[in-house]
Amino acid sequence: MFSKSKINEPGSKTSESPSADSAAPKPAAPASASKDMKPATPPKAKPPASVLSSDLHISGNLKTTGDIQVEGTIEGDIRAHLLTIGEGATVRGEVTADDVVINGRIVGRVRGLKVRLTSTARVEGDIIHKTIAIESGAHFEGSVQRQDDPLSSGPKTTAPVTSASFEKKA
């Protein structure tokens, strides 16, 4: 850190002048570093999904811009980006998400851009979607309605409506 030549030389002025010179670039360096850091901030890593464990029972609404994986019981509405309902999970309320993957049970309306009912899914309620996939073995009772913007709960669009009430069993 210190050199012997700087200490022994009467040029403490030389050691002062580089520090004065180095003091001037230092404010410039953090300013450029902060400029460099600002573009690095927006592409931050996506946080992992919030997992609601199987022993958890929630009475109330959930809202997030992130992802949720439900393994327990929810009595209330859920709003998320990606919502995964586990095999042992039960949701009683309206579910709204960009992507909805249902492995468990939902009693209530489902709204999603992409909705997927796996073979273990059990849905009792209407599904409003842009795209839907229902695997063989899924249990579904309600109506299916396609909308270009299913996430808006405003007036219905003029998209064609498909209504069905069926039950698939393995």
What residue spans of 24-146 are helical by DSSP H? Answer: 25-40
Query: What CA–CA distance (Å, rounded) separates 96 from 108?
Result: 11
User: Does residue 36 register a pLDDT over 60?
Assistant: no
Confidence of residue 162 (pLDDT cuts 50, 70, 90): very low
Mean pLDDT (the chain) is 79
User: Does residue 31 register a pLDDT over 70?
Assistant: no
State mean pLDDT over 95-113: 97
Confidence of residue 39 (pLDDT cuts 50, 70, 90): low
Please report the pLDDT score of residue 40 as a whole number.
Answer: 55
In percent, the amount of the chain with pLDDT more than 70 equals 64
Please report the pLDDT score of residue 51 as a whole number.
Answer: 94
User: Does residue 43 register a pLDDT over 80?
Assistant: no
Residues 6+ apart with CB under 8 A from 80: 62, 63, 64, 65, 66, 67, 68, 96, 97
Cα angle for residues 62, 110, 107 (degrees, 5° grid)? 80
State mean pLDDT over 95-100: 97
- Decide: helix, strand or coil at residue 147: coil
Confidence of residue 49 (pLDDT cuts 50, 70, 90): confident
Please report the pLDDT score of residue 46 as a whole number.
Answer: 80
Please report the pLDDT score of residue 4 as a whole number.
Answer: 56
Q: Where are the domains of the chain?
A: 4-40, 50-146
Q: Which residue has the higher pLDDT, 41 or 69?
A: 69
User: Does residue 163 register a pLDDT over 60?
Assistant: no
Please report the pLDDT score of residue 42 as a whole number.
Answer: 64
State mean pLDDT over 8-13: 52
